[in-house]
Chains A and B, each alone.
Chain A
């Protein structure tokens, strides 16, 4: 039982090129903590110094934008798919 976290291209230099990482956490914030302990430095790319999610990053839990949910406190189910996606231009 694990969550799948999809790592976007600009962050793969932290994960040695790995595209997906498995975590086991209760919230998005905890997932970021687990990523940080495995890949030091990655959290500072995701969050501002005050801990808020950076402006140009979108995080989705099972397809739902966490800005519509409880942001970093959004709960994450045991088999959730978590996507970290940079903002993309319109079309």
Chain B
């Protein structure tokens, strides 16, 4: 059974029925799913959740489906890793990595939103699905649509990383590179959605799609023993994820599943695409769009649709937002890999680099319990890395030992 009461405008609160609608006709504000929390509260207990399989569907009462899910049945419940070595390096007491770099099936948190959106697309009876994407969503829609037997139309900027293109094409999706940046791709997608009956997951299914991201927050709280952390650092592209983790933790508090949700939310961006961070630092909620120029392509959204709401969450919770250079992003990718054995894509490097900056600024305190959101896998963005050139050796023990001697003298020097 469904606990959804309907859709509601997030700005002017005009109610709408449960249909593939995303935009309020009165004020153009985004629509959002409205739940019957009183009814959910009688059903959803910690014990009930613990008795269910370790997937995101263990929180299904808080997801907007009418029937059983049909797509992404194994998605979710990625590891929350206690990162003591990294914590010591960057100067914080208790640090965790929520690792969606190993998300099933496509190695990014987008599997969460797509599982919900494509299950919903089937409920609505759509026969084709699609998206506008900076890469990770493309991978996930292509993979999940293939498994569900749905044709997919996927539009991407034509400058994406090679592995994000291959990781979409391989599933047999109709992949359309567009000469332009993500904001231009988005505009085209919106115009296509106005003409064809496709389920574009982040256009006409946006209210349902976004709800999948809440599970990132539910899992953090459950994996911390039903506690909200003191601070969460989240990468921001369109700005939706940070608002959905906030919503998720607040829902858990409302349902009595955690005592309180007093987490401070910190948003991470690249200096080459920082419209949300710039607004937070300027003390405004007005987002000035930018033209992205950074290696963090999955975060390259110059006109973030949820920027207004992201700045609201950040400032209301006492958090902050920072941006970092491409060089800092690369350094942090290598630090995360070397300290914790987690290989994150450029967005993850951005998140860790911003975390380090916030600790240096004293905004994240040494005594905080901190969670950093790693949302995508490093193998997707390998060309951004600038690692040392390797020299091969002869297949002889003496050659290996000569190498060891060279390393020892380098350390001694």
* Chain A residues at the B interface, C-beta cutoff of 8 Å: 6, 8-13, 19, 45, 54-58, 60, 63, 65, 67-68, 83, 85-91
Bound state CA distance, A57 and B11, in angstroms? 13
- How far does the alpha carbon of A88 sit from the alpha carbon of B25 in the complex, in Å? 15
Q: Which residues of chain A are near B240, meaning CB under 8 Å?
A: 89-90
User: Could you tell me if A60 and B30 are in contact, using CB atoms closer than 8 angstroms?
Assistant: no
Q: Which residues of chain B from 92 to 130 have any CB-CB distance to chain A below 8 Å in the complex?
A: 110
A91 and B133: CB pair below 8 A? yes
The segment from B186-194, B245-253, B257-265, B319-327 that touches chain A is: B186-194
Of all chain A residues, which has the CB nearest B203? A88
Query: B23 contacts A58, CB within 8 Å?
Result: no
Q: Per-residue CB proximity of B204-242 to A under 8 Å, as 1/0?
A: 001001100000000000000000000000000111100
Shortest distance between the CB of A47 and any CB in chain B (Å): 11
The reply to whether the CB of B24 lies closer than 8 angstroms to some CB of chain A is yes
Residues on B with C-beta less than 8 A from A85 are 186-187, 190-191
Smallest CB separation, A87 vs chain B (Å):
4
Given known A-B contacts A88-B206, A89-B209, A91-B131, A54 and B28 have beta carbons under 8 A apart: yes
Chain B interface (Cβ within 8 Å of chain A)? 11, 22-30, 110, 131-134, 136-138, 180, 182-184, 186-187, 189-191, 193-195, 201-203, 206, 209-210, 237-240, 286, 288-289, 291, 301, 303-306, 308
Q: Which residues of B contact A8 (CB under 8 A)?
A: 23, 190, 194
Which of chain A's residues have a CB closer than 8 A to the CB of B194? 6, 8-9, 12, 19
Per a CB cutoff under 8 Å, which of B29, B186, B195 touches A88?
B186
Is A89 within 8 A of B27, CB to CB? no
The answer to whether B26 and A58 touch across the interface, beta carbons within 8 angstroms, is: no
Whether A10 pairs with B28 at a CB distance below 8 angstroms is: yes
**Complex contacts, A6 vs chain B, CB 8 Å:** 191, 194
Q: B133–A19 contact, CB under 8 A?
A: no
B130 to chain A, nearest CB (A): 10
Q: In the complex, are the beta carbons of A90 and B27 less than 8 A apart?
A: no
* B134→A90 contact, CB < 8 A: yes
Interchain CB contact (< 8 A) of B25 among A10, A87, A90? A10
Tell whether, in the assembled complex, residue A57 and residue B28 are in contact, meaning their CB atoms are under 8 Å apart.
Answer: yes
Q: How many angstroms from the CA of A90 to the CA of B300 in the assembled complex?
A: 9
Q: Quick check: B24 and A60 within 8 Å, CB to CB?
A: no
**A10→B306 contact, CB < 8 A:** no
Nearest CB of B to A63, in Å: 6
**Shortest distance from the beta carbon of A54 to any chain B beta carbon, whole Å:** 5
A residues in contact with B136, CB < 8 Å? 91
Q: Is the CB of B29 within 8 A of A56?
A: yes
Q: How far apart sit A88 and B210, CA to CA, in the bound complex (Å)? A: 11
CB distance from B110 to the nearest CB of A (A): 8
Question: Which chain A residues border B186 with CB–CB below 8 Å?
Answer: 85, 88, 91
What is the bound-complex CA distance between A8 and B206, given in angstroms? 16
The contact sample of 20 A-B pairs, CB cut-off 8 A, is A8-B23, A9-B194, A10-B23, A13-B25, A55-B286, A56-B27, A56-B28, A56-B29, A65-B289, A67-B289, A67-B303, A85-B187, A86-B23, A86-B28, A88-B190, A89-B209, A89-B210, A90-B240, A90-B301, A91-B238
| C-alpha spacing A1/B103, complex, angstroms | 53
Chain B nearest CB, measured from A44 CB (Å): 9
Across the interface, do B305 and A89 meet the contact criterion of CB distance under 8 Å? yes
**Closest CB-CB distance, B200 to chain A, in whole Å?**
9
Q: Are A89 and B303 in contact (CB under 8 A)?
A: no
Docked complex Cα distance between A86 and B24 (Å): 10
Instruction: Apart from A54-B27, A86-B23, A89-B203, list 13 A-B contacts with CB within 8 A.
Output: A9-B194, A11-B25, A57-B28, A63-B180, A83-B187, A86-B28, A87-B303, A88-B132, A88-B186, A90-B134, A90-B202, A90-B237, A91-B110
Interchain CB contact under 8 A, B238 and A45: no
B25, B131, B306: which contacts A45 (Cβ < 8 A)?
B25
